Amino acid sequence: MLTLMLIVGAIIVCGVVYALVKGADARITLIGSGILMAAIGGVPMAALDAFAKSMTNSGLIQAVCSVMGFALAVRFTECDKHLINAMASVISRVRFFLIPGVVICTYLVNIALPSAAGTAAAAGAIFIPLLMAAGVGPALAAAAVKCGTYGSMLNPGLAHNPFVAKIAGVDVMNVIGFHYKANLASLVVATICITVIAHVLKEDKGHVPEHLQVDKNFKVNYLYALMPVVPIVILLLGSTKIVPLFKMGVPQAMIIGALLTLVVTRTKPKALCDAFFEGMGKAYGSIIGIIISAGVFVAGLTSIGLVKWFIDAMLNNPAIVKICAAFGPFLLGLLTGSGDAATFAFNEAITPYAPDFGMSQVQMGSMATLGGTLGRTMSPIAGATIICAGIAGVNPMEITKRNAIPMLCALTVGMLILLF
């Protein structure tokens, strides 16, 4: 019976992937398949419980809604146009480095803000419109930002780093010191790959967005142009402790940014407030809606036994433990949109015995962490992917299509460095 359920679950997952590739509505597809798998698994309420739980995911809702509220306020005051036109001359000179520059800048932001979703929201609100205004296609612009959302591995505060350090009995900086070369090498490879893909697909220029055209006759107010970047500067200065007073969450930074925009542009308070809350509402309906749907889908995967089977298969095959350490968390991260479950399970169950397999605990733990992180970065149902897709106005699957080769190449290079 269990085998039959797993086969049916695998068929449903393949059907979901096919539907998303063909452009089916992500919310309907994910919710429908999640409810179906939960029903087959004998716990139909699990999908509905996941729906209810995801509705109040405070961390994501606060970050996404506040960022999108600020983005609409910035658009309403046309500060985004001032920023785009101010950057136009720079963009024209460094066009070749624009896409790799965005990937690397997002990566650096993610080091300071060790939340992929928070980074996607904060950095994506600036970089995606900037790339689109420069002529980069929406899907590629979103993919470039998403490609850089795994810099958190270099942050000591990322949960996996101290977890591996505790297992190995070393300082957390020893763990980062071991895997940083592999991490940076994977970033270089991913950056080169996505830049080449943009050129091959001819998505690195030629796109004409509706609201973000560069106007040669536009008179730039440089104070206005600074407003869109105020929140991210606040977050970076606070997170890096350069200005401890600025240590705050994403929503607080967005509110401060909106208030400064109100003062600088002298917009009517009610008009800007209406724009801000309109953006928050749209964010919940479009972006949070898909995240809720993804939560239902993962609940279905869990109910039908696919997640448990995958983790058990990975943990119960010591003969291929090195391969499992690299690709097990990656595949589960890709499937569920979060590499945390598989990575923590693997590191807790297998990593303490790494010396028995000819590896150090730090080495094996780093492999599992990098694999899970890259899998999540490629996943179409990861919160960060959905946020980037919402900002760019594209299907999340379009981002995964463009990030697949960069992430697979990054995984290969990163694992080779960690292994040898």
Q: How far apart are CA 154 and CA 135, in angstroms?
A: 32
For the stretch 272-309, pLDDT in tens is 999 999 989 988 887 788 878 888 888 898 899 887 88
Indicate the helix (H) or strand (E) that contains 84: helix 79-93
How much is the pLDDT for 54? 81
3-state helix, strand, coil in the chain (%, to 5): 80, 0, 20
Mean pLDDT of 385-401: 92
Write down the mean pLDDT value for the chain: 86
The alpha carbon of 103 is separated from its chain's Cα centroid by a whole number of angstroms, namely: 12
pLDDT score recorded for residue 318: 66
Position 8 pLDDT exceeds 70: yes
Q: Is 52 or 319 the better-scoring residue by pLDDT? A: 52
pLDDT-derived band at 342, boundaries 50, 70, 90: low
- pLDDT at 419 (0 to 100): 87
On the question of pLDDT at 52 being above 80, the answer is: yes
Higher pLDDT, 156 or 275: 275
Contacts of 404 (CB under 8 A, 6+ apart): 378
Question: What tens digit of pLDDT does each residue of 364-392 get?
Answer: 999 999 999 999 999 998 989 999 999 89
Region 319-338: mean pLDDT is 81
Q: What is the pLDDT of residue 350?
A: 79
SS3 track for 51-70: HHHHHCCHHHHHHHHHHHHH
Report angle CA 389, 393, 397 to the nearest 5 degrees.
45
DSSP class of residue 158?
A: S
pLDDT for the residue 413: 96
Nearest alpha-carbon partner for 116 in 419, 387, 316: 387
Structure letter (DSSP) for residue 195 = H
pLDDT at residue number 332: 80
Cα distance between residue 219 and residue 221, in whole Å: 7
Query: Residue 97: how many CB atoms within 10 A of its CB?
Result: 12
- Residue 34's pLDDT is 92
Tokens 């297992």 correspond to: 167
Q: Round the CA-based radius of gyration of the chain to a whole number and report it.
A: 22
Q: Residue 216: its pLDDT value, please?
A: 63
Residue 215 — very low, low, confident or very high, per pLDDT cuts 50/70/90? Answer: low
Structure tokens at 113: 């803000």
Q: Are 261 and 273 in contact (CB under 8 A)?
A: no
Q: Sort 51 into a burial class: Cβ within 10 Å, 0-12 / 13-18 / 19+.
A: middle
pLDDT the model gives residue 241: 81
Region 127-134: mean pLDDT is 87
Helices (H), 240-357: 250-265, 269-283, 289-304, 306-315, 321-336, 340-349
Q: Which residues contact 299 (CB under 8 A, 6 or more apart)?
A: 34, 38, 46, 47, 49, 50
Which DSSP category does 241 fall into? T
pLDDT at 194: 97
pLDDT of residue 212 exceeding 60, the answer is no
Give, as one character, the DSSP assignment of residue 126: H
pLDDT at 209 over 80: no
pLDDT at residue 394, rounded to an integer? 92
